[in-house]
Amino acid sequence: MKKLIIINGPNLNLLGKREPNIYGSLSFTEFLDKIKDKYENVQLDYFQSNIEGELIDKLHEVGFTNDGIILNAAAYTHTSVGIGDAVKAIETPVVEVHISNTFNREEFRHQSFISPNAKGVILGFGLQSYELAIQSFLN
């Protein structure tokens, strides 16, 4: 059984309530329940934090044992050298995801410290971005 984890960064705990015009009205836990039912042959873990260092600690913790990491570092994507370095330091491949298409938004969202060290990047498909990332590890 493949062992995957979704790691979500700051403000993503508010999905469903936060700017629903951009991020949709489904909460992440509702989405996760559906996706876990659909991919029952995958061990799918979930971690969310609003704290940069906790995201780095989690990457270190799972980054040598998991089969894959699906990372939406949210705003830290655009600012965090530390999270970028952590993605480089670990062995488990990381797929970077974003709900919105960050390239049709403000210029500061076009920069990513994750992308250079990610296996791939999936963005702009709403919550389906996460599902596409899961599928990328199954193929």
Positions touching ligand DQA (CB under 6 A) are 11, 72, 74-75, 77, 98-100, 102, 109
Whichever of 66 and 72 has its CB closer to ligand DQA, that residue is 72
Q: Catalytic: 23?
A: yes
Question: Catalytic residue among 46, 76, 98, 130, which?
Answer: 98
DSSP the chain: -EEEEEEE-TTGGGTTTS-HHHH-S--HHHHHHHHHHHTTTEEEEEEE-S-HHHHHHHHHHHTTT-SEEEEE-GGGGGT-HHHHHHHHH-SS-EEEEESS-GGGS-GGGG--SSGGGSSEEEESSTTHHHHHHHHHHH-
User: Measured from the CB atom, is 43 or 128 closer to ligand DQA?
Assistant: 128
Q: Smallest gap, in angstroms, from Cβ of residue 1 to ligand DQA?
A: 27
76 belongs to the catalytic site: no
- Find the shortest distance in angstroms from Cβ 42 to ligand DQA: 21
CB of 11 to ligand DQA, least distance (A): 5
Query: Which residue in the list 23, 60, 76, 130 is annotated as catalytic?
Result: 23
Catalytic residues: 23, 98
